[in-house]
Amino acid sequence: MKEKHCACVREESCCQKTKERTPEEYRRLVNRLNRIEGQIRGLRGMLDRNAYCPDILAQAAAANAALNAFSRELLSSHIRSCVVHDVREGNDEIIDELLATLQKLMK
């Protein structure tokens, strides 16, 4: 049985969580990922062309920054929707989940 709350859906039978995103949020995130994917392909191309190491490293740093921006946007959305909703509903376990997520992001 699915319990729907906010934009998050909790699958009770297998403890998996999913989130229904707005078309706007989905579009923004996919656009970011598409740009990152292009940057990664660009890195491969630079390597194939024997590009100078510092040039490849600069492109890798740009791809890393883009991936971090994707993560920040996704985290912001999660906090504003799922976390806020769960806290208002009295589910304080979401705070522990958020802290664990932040620890993984800060490695």
Residue 101, classified by CB atoms within 10 Å of its CB into exposed (0-12), middle (13-18) or buried (19+), is: middle
Per-residue pLDDT tens over the stretch 1-52: 334 345 565 544 455 788 889 999 999 999 999 999 999 999 999 999 999 9
- As given in the structure block, the two tokens for residue 27 are 């579009």
Structural domains of the chain, ranges and CATH numbers in brackets: 23-105 (1.20.58.1000)
| Sheet arrangement for strand 8-11 | 2-5, 8-11, 16-19
Beta bridge partners of 16: 11
| Confidence grade of residue 107 (pLDDT, cut at 50, 70, 90) | confident
